[in-house]
Amino acid sequence: MVECLYINPPCFSQTTKKEETFEIDILGVEGRKNLQKANDILGLALDEADFEYYYEFFLNKIQKNPTDVELFDLAQSNSEHSRHWFFRGELYVNDEKRPESLFKSIQDTQKYSNKNNVIAFCDNSSAITGFESEYLVSTDPTKTAALSKKCLKRHIIYTAETHNFPTGVCPFPGAATGTGGRIRDVHATGRGAHEIAGIAGYSIGNLNLNNYPQSYEPKWDYPNNFATPAKILIEASNGASDYGNKFGEPVIAGFTRSFGMQLPNSKRYEYVKPIMFSAGIGSIDSNLTKKAEAKKGQLVAKVGGPVYRIGIGGGAASSVQVQGDQKNELDFGAVQRGDPEMEQKLHRVIRGCIELGDKNPILSIHDQGAGGNGNVLKEIVEGKSGGAIIKADSFDLGDPTISIRELWGAEYQESDAILVDPLLVDELKAISSREKCKVNIVGEVTGDNKVIVKNYTNELPEHPVDLDLTKLSERESKVFNLRSDVINALSLELPSKLSVKEALNQVLRLPTVGSKRYLTNKVDRSVTGLIAQQQSVGPLHTPISDVAVVALSYFDTVGAAMAIGEQPIKGLIYPEIGARMSVGEALTNLIFAPITDLSDVKCSGNWMWAAKVDGEGGKLVQACDAMCAVMKKLGIAVDGGKDSLSMAARCKNNEIVCSPGTLVISTYAPCTDIQKVITPDFKIPDEAPTVIVYISMANPRQKYRLGGSALAQCYSQMGNEFPDMDSPEYFKKAFNVVQKLIQEELLFSGHDVSDGGLITALLEMAFAGNCEIHASITSQTGTLETLFAEELGIILEVSHKNLGHLLAICDENDIIVQKIGEVVQIYGKDASIIINVNGSCVIDCSLNELRNIWEETSDRLELLQTSENCVKSQIEWRSKVNVTNYVANFNYNIDSNNFLTKSPKIAILREEGSNGDREMAAAFIFVGFEAFDITMTDLSNGANLDQFRGIAFVGGFSFADVLGSAKGWAATISFNEKICEMFQTFKNRKDTFSLGICNGCQLMALINWIGNSNVSKGKVFLDDNDCGRFHSGFCSVKIQKSPAIMLKDMEESILGVWTSHGEGKFTYNSAETEQFLEKQNLRCIRYCDNNGHLTNLYPANPNGSSSAVAGICSADGRHLAMMPHPDRSFLTWQWPNYPKNLKLHHSNFTPWIKMFKNAYDWCVFVE
């Protein structure tokens, strides 16, 4: 608490005045001078070409003095950030004109790939052909209504962008709004689309962690207006994770790279200006992929949050050639602030409109980002019959002092612009009212191609914006004169007696190579219930999986696979190699998901480069040409992407530091069977030991080149021989062979060789499998080169029985396979890592010793974001786990097509901020319930609970957990007499039951529905996790004897289940309360270790609940509250690793389906 003395009496009257609109006198004799003055004052970041264009545009083309609003608007919406002038421009490289734009070259890759793009280069996301299946939709999203299965065709959409400048200046809000803006890019595709999952990546400078010195991290100066690399990494990942957690979008893949080095040309390259990469996968109904053209009479609406004075000038600030060349206050003012709860409500409005089907009122939609209203409203009314009159008075203002320039230019978040069918406005308003998300009809399409803003009532000028879109669109391409700096590559000089163990001691600690557990622990990776593959695998939930896979529906096993590739360090000397290796890495990550065809793979190309710094732009061109060429040979294509071309920062000593030119390749493709994805943890099935084989993907004649490797970085060098995709033709053959091996189910595990080399890939697979390996590698090159070179290749685990078949398939296709070892059935603390190269033993260590080194940098970073006790507990837990044992001694072979004719009704109840409703509904629908989507708003407006036999209180972050989890939701029930009585009546009926999961569990505790509900309220509540933050993981729980109707016959089961919460610690107001619950067997679900013993050890117990409590029921057993998520764990593909001993022959159900079926059986039995 902070206490302060108010010397003067507080004043609540408005004293701040709106800034007045003014003209910039360009037509006068000092026009140029006045324009330059406006450029400086308003922070427009106009380059020389911009300056000349706007001067001529206003002086001669339209012959009027611009208002500050118009000039500010054009500077933002026509900035490099918004319009990508470089990629569309006329380029001269080393004085030679390039024959076409970079954009044209990238588009040409489409000619060499399958024609499966539905959307490419023309919307907020790209899309490829998806699948027809049954999807869960509301029968009427304007009110309480049943959720039903509907046969639809949905395509797969993908988008990727970065939010680098805001993240460098203010890491948490910068990354949060980067995530939020990208989420809106997904749902603003076509006429509205569905978000499923996200990807996050971070490239930062040298961490220089306290008391953890690394020899390759020199102490250099950093700019005053940027956060330090370590702070960026922690706070940016907090911001991105927090936003996704609260919105309800899981992060299921990503990358981290830390780099700072002085190259042989004495130039320092470091991610002083960081990369915050955000990408998203989603789906779109096949009939909604095309936006309608703007036509006279259509209404222009804004949906989402109110106007605030935040994010002023972000488009221009992000386009400054060298960050640090603007005033600090302009940089800080340009950073937006995020509100994920508002975004959740906005998402529900869009989804509701989509689910209206033919009555979808959205004709076109764009999300608001750089340039604010000035950009998004001009964009949405573009076209031959476009133009609009916009009324300032029609906007919902969060601050009455917002000036017209701020209204038009602020990049306040959680807002979309839509064109609305005038005949369907009532439906839109009904949905928005139900979801408590404002819709403002702010204008109307005029058809004259002019955008006119009508000022606030009684304010001048009457039209602060009056622009002709036709004339604005006539701007010519920009011209760029570029050159490439040539950096002489020096041979790598490693210490002469460097041992493999010493090298590993360095490499495994490199943030790029080491464990990312500090990231995955704090981000939800299961919400939606549609996640088939995320980062963490094996008994220790180790984050090493590189392919992300989502289902498109709960009722099918088709989906989408995506993977990332980025190899910027290899491109510092040779940009072409960096580009080819980025493509190669993306594909060797994607390879382990079964896809329709390699030529169906589409890519997003995201370019982060200091392109306008002398000597750097030509390198980008080289990289682009190489990327296009290799994609054409592979038969894949780019269908979208973004660029950030001001990746340089001015440090304290006036040194300009460029970030390494970075190309991030995102690959995505249709996945034919989400159940066949190969994970990278060694499995050791019954036929152990298994065989480890290696396939080179780059060239049949294996090479081992250390240039640009993690080992070279650890010794502050680059080297002169770099790995490359020497033969794209061979790579393509090898890719298709591995796909065949997956389809024929010959593989147990697989992993790509990337940062850290072959030895790191082997170790990661052993760390994740928690098992012993014996490797024996034959090579024609040196030991360090063999083990640490980062050549394109993959490691596969196969049984002895299937090895011959695998070798035969590879031989038929001329693919070289090398047997390099065996996986041995020894686990955990007893396991060893033994590696021989050319007959000599180079590593003989315990598994735990090497894993601790690999985890140490992550543990150090964890100390910056959680308690020391939890970090120690996590280290202890890792050392104790052997093999996880699950037990389910009951029948859960549910035939979902063989229910009784009765379909009990269950209310899937949510409040604003809830996000777990659809997966909950799916679980109940599978076992025969009729599930209804119902909101607290519905109940306030006259709906009731009389028709329902059950209530499911869903998970999420109701009211964003303000004042504590579920406190707001509980208040809406407890402090509304009518609603409180309604709930009490429902609870007291003998034919009703309820289930509360996560946020719903927290609510049930607060409204006293669990334990002994006859006593006063507040006996049980959920407190903050001991780790002090949100935690996500896959835990084991033990179901104990209790009266809980939903757990009937499940006693003594040990099951895996997802957990995702920040306040999950069961706490009691007295020892007597706890004793009562224990004596009555009401604490029915408990966290346990891998052997089934109850545990308080983090993270097996993710919150520190005493006695390992995970769930509590009511005394009569009808009401059950639990923090874990069986609603995300009832299908086999939802588990990170589903055990064979629990697999049913003709069903995808896990034992958790029994819980939901018990509820159905009880409802049928208790009439």
Beta bridge partners of 480: 91
- Asked if 1121 contacts 1051 with a C-beta cutoff of 8 angstroms, the reply is no
Distance CA 260, CA 257 (A): 10
Q: What b/e sequence results for 214-229 when a residue is b if at least 16 CB atoms lie within 10 Å of its CB, and e otherwise?
A: bebbeebebbebbbbb
Quote the CA–CA distance of 851 and 844 in Å, as a whole number: 13
Clarify whether 1127 is annotated catalytic.
yes
Query: Out of 366, 1001, 1127, 1163, which one is annotated catalytic?
Result: 1127
Can you tell me the distance from the alpha carbon of 6 to that of 2, in angstroms, rounded to the nearest whole number?
A: 13
**What's the CA gap between 81 and 111, in Å, rounded?**
28
Task: Quote helix, strand, coil % in the chain, to nearest 5.
Answer: 35, 25, 40
Which amino acid, one-letter code, is at 7?
I
**How many helices (H) and strands (E) in the chain?**
34, 47
Active site residue 1125: yes
DSSP state of 1125: B
Buried b (16+ CB within 10 A) or exposed e, 903-934: bbbbbbbbbbbbbbbbbbbbbbbbbbbbbbbb
C-alpha distances (whole Å) from 875 to each of 406, 584, 764, 871 are: 50, 34, 17, 6
**Rounded Cα distance, 362 and 984, in Å:** 40
Pull the structure tokens for residue 670. Answer: 């249709």
- State the DSSP string of 580-612: HHHHHHHHHHHTTS-BS-GGG-EEEEEEE--TT
- Determine contact, residues 659/261, Cβ cutoff 8 Å: no
The residue from 998, 1027, 1035, 1163 that is catalytic is 998
Query: What one-character-per-residue DSSP string does 442-507 give?
Result: EEEE-SSSEEEEEPSTT-SSS-SEEEEHHHHTTPPPPEEEE-----PPPPP---TT--HHHHHHHH
CA distance 926 to 920: 10
Terminal C-alpha separation, the chain: 53
Is residue 214 within 8 Å of residue 397, measured between CB atoms? no
Beta-carbon contacts of residue 704 (< 8 Å; ≥ 6 apart): 779, 781, 782, 785, 786, 789, 791
- The token pair at 930 is 């009729």
Alpha-helical segments (H) within 1100-1167? 1153-1165
1099-1126: burial string, b at 16+ Cβ within 10 Å, e else: bbbbbbbeebbbbbbbbebbbbbbbbbb
Helix pair angle (757-769, 847-862), 10° resolution = 90
Q: What is the torsional sign of CA 1024, 1028, 1029, 1034?
A: negative
Name residues whose C-beta falls within 8 Å of residue 219's C-beta, 6 or more positions apart in sequence: 208
b/e for 1060-1092, b at 16 or more Cβ within 10 A? bbbbbbbbbeeeebbebbeeebbbbbbbbbbeb
Report the sign of the C-alpha dihedral through residues 1120, 1124, 1127, 1131, in that order: negative
Within 13 Å of residue 48, how many CA atoms lie on the same side as its CB?
Answer: 3
One-letter identity of residue 507: V
Helix (H, G, I), strand (E, B) or coil at 257: strand
Question: Which of 185, 203, 102, 195 has its CA nearest to residue 156?
Answer: 195
Of 163, 752, 1125, 1163, the catalytic one is 1125
Q: Whose structure tokens read 């940089």?
A: 331
688: phi then psi, degrees, rounded to nearest 5: -65, 155
Which residues are catalytically annotated?
A: 998, 1125, 1127
